[in-house]
Amino acid sequence: MEDTEPTATRRSVIRGALGAGVTALGLSTVGTAAAGDGPPAAEPVLLVNGYSDTEDTPWWDVLESHFRDVGYTDDEVHRADLGDVPGTTVDSPTEYAEVVADRLAAISEEYGGEVDVVAHSMGGLDSRWAIEKLEAAQYVDDLVTLGTPHQGTYVAYLGALTDGGRDMIPGSEFLEALNDGRLAESVGYLALWSSADELIDPDEYAKLPDPEAASVDVARSENSGYQEHIQLVADRDVFEQYYRFLG
C-alpha cells in the first residue's frame, strides 16, 4: 500500500507505542514454512481488523510477515482501512462492511480475479455482511475468521454504548439478520476459535452457527488451541492452521 508522509508518521507513532505489546503477548515472526515456497493460491489477501482495532497495530505487521514468509509479495497482501485511531473503530459492522466491499471490488478489479479475506474479531462480521448482504461474494474465494463472534459474545455488553458493541450482543437484531440460515455458496468459510479467548464468551460462539455452516459445501469451524484474543492475529501456529486453506 502507498502511504503519504502524514500517514507514515502516524503509523510510526502508533507502532512505537504499541510495539511492546507484541513482545509481551509472546508473538513472534519466526515461522516454520520455508520462505519462497510460494503462496497456496494465486489470490491476493485482504486483512480486516476488528472492534476498536486498526490496520496499523503491530500484530498486523507480524501477520503480514507470516504471509511474506510463505511466498506472498507485498503487493498481494492488503489491509482494510476502517479507521486511524485505536479505540474509535466501534461502529456497526454494517458500516464497515461497505468499506470492505469497496476494497474487495477494487482489489479484484486490479488483479482480475478473486480475493481471499482473513478477518479478526468483529472484522469477520464486517466481512460476512459485505459478502452475504452487499453482493461482495463475487469478489471472494475464501474467508477465514479469527475469534469472530459469529453468534455474539456476552463481553459485548461492556461496549453496549456503541453500535458495534450492541450488534455483537447475542440475539441482537444485527446477528439475527446476518445469521439467516444461508452463507454465500461460492465462498469457502473457515472459522477459528480459541479455548482461551477472553473476549468471546462463551468461546464456542466464535464458531459458525450450525444451520449456516450446513447451508454450503465448504464451511467449517476449528479450535485453534489456547490463544488470547489478539494472539489469534499474529500467532504462527494459528497461521499455519489456516493459510493453506486459502487455495
Helices of type H across 116-205: 122-133, 163-167, 173-178
Cell numbers standing for residue 71: 511466498
As a whole number of angstroms, the longest Cα–Cα distance in the chain is 48
pLDDT at 38: 57
Q: Which of 224, 179, 173 is nearest to 200 (CA)?
A: 224
Non-local (6+) Cβ contacts of 32 within 8 A are 236, 240
Print pLDDT tens along the chain (247 aa).
333 333 333 333 333 444 444 444 444 444 444 444 556 666 999 999 999 999 999 999 999 999 999 999 999 999 999 999 999 999 999 999 999 999 999 999 999 999 999 999 999 999 999 999 999 999 999 999 999 999 999 999 999 999 999 999 999 999 999 999 999 999 999 999 999 999 999 999 999 999 999 999 999 999 999 999 999 999 999 999 999 999 7
Would you state the torsion angle of the CA atoms of residues 62, 49, 158, 192, taken in this order, to the nearest 10 degrees?
-70
Would you state the torsion angle of the CA atoms of residues 185, 133, 211, 155, taken in this order, to the nearest 10 degrees?
130
